[in-house]
Amino acid sequence: MISIINKDFRDCIVPKGLTITDPPYNQGYHYNGYKDRISEDDYFFLLSKIPTPCVIIHYPEETINLLPKAIGVKCEQVVCWVYNSNTGKQSRLISWWGCKPDFRKVRQPYKNLNDKRIQKRIAEGKTGAKLYDWWNINQVKNVSKEKTEHPCQIPEELISKIIKTTAKENEIIIDVFAGSGTTSKVAYDLGYDTISYEIDNKYCEIINKRIYETSK
């Protein structure tokens, strides 16, 4: 089951599930018709309505300082997502609230296949290195196959790691700020039921096209 709802999630009854989302940054970015600049009190209120358990992708990183009081549940894990940009290495934080990832569920591919120790591990049937709390994943560039018209798109690889390490079997995957629909697409591809909320008509059209034309 997949559902894309063209409404503000605060006006809906959101079912229980695992929320994975990248909230608006409140930095004045342009999202089609949405103005990404509201008062600090309104922004805090917006964050406080994110359903838990949840995994939140932060920008700017200082947003994490608002969440303990806004979310109201314990932060169980923080991961640093590192990527290359035009100005060098950049990073964003990912935090888990009311849920905890199991990094044993995902292995990172070995890089130096000429290393005899790596060759021995592969011969023993090991498929990669243990996942740690430092994730090197490229941003979605304009030349990326998964690129859409959305200006702030999250990589599919990143969402895949979050779901594989965190989601329970048959858990509904929810995104309350759907944007380009990466969470919906990846959850659908991995066999999960998913519900996403997006207030912009244009982005809802992009999500539907992306899912039904490129998924699976």
Please tell me the least confidently modeled range out of 13-27, 80-94, 97-111, 136-150. Answer: 136-150
pTM recorded for the entire structure: 0.89
**How does the average pLDDT of the chain come out, rounded?**
89
SS3 call for 206: helix
To which H or E segment does residue 99 belong?
none
The torsion defined by the Cα of 60, 61, 63 and 69, in degrees rounded to 10, comes to: 180
In this structure, is residue 125 part of a structural domain?
no
In this structure, is residue 54 part of a structural domain?
yes
Nearest-10 crossing angle of helices 201-214, 182-189: 20
In this structure, is residue 161 part of a structural domain?
yes
In this structure, is residue 109 part of a structural domain?
no
In this structure, is residue 123 part of a structural domain?
no
Number of domains in the chain: 1
Give the structural domain span for 8.
Answer: 2-102+132-214
Q: Residue 184, Cβ neighbours under 10 Å: how many? A: 29
In this structure, is residue 110 part of a structural domain?
no
Q: What is the pLDDT, as a whole number, of residue 31? A: 73
Which amino acid belongs to residue 140?
A: V
* Alpha helix stretches (DSSP H) within the chain: 40-48, 67-71, 116-123, 156-166, 182-189, 201-214
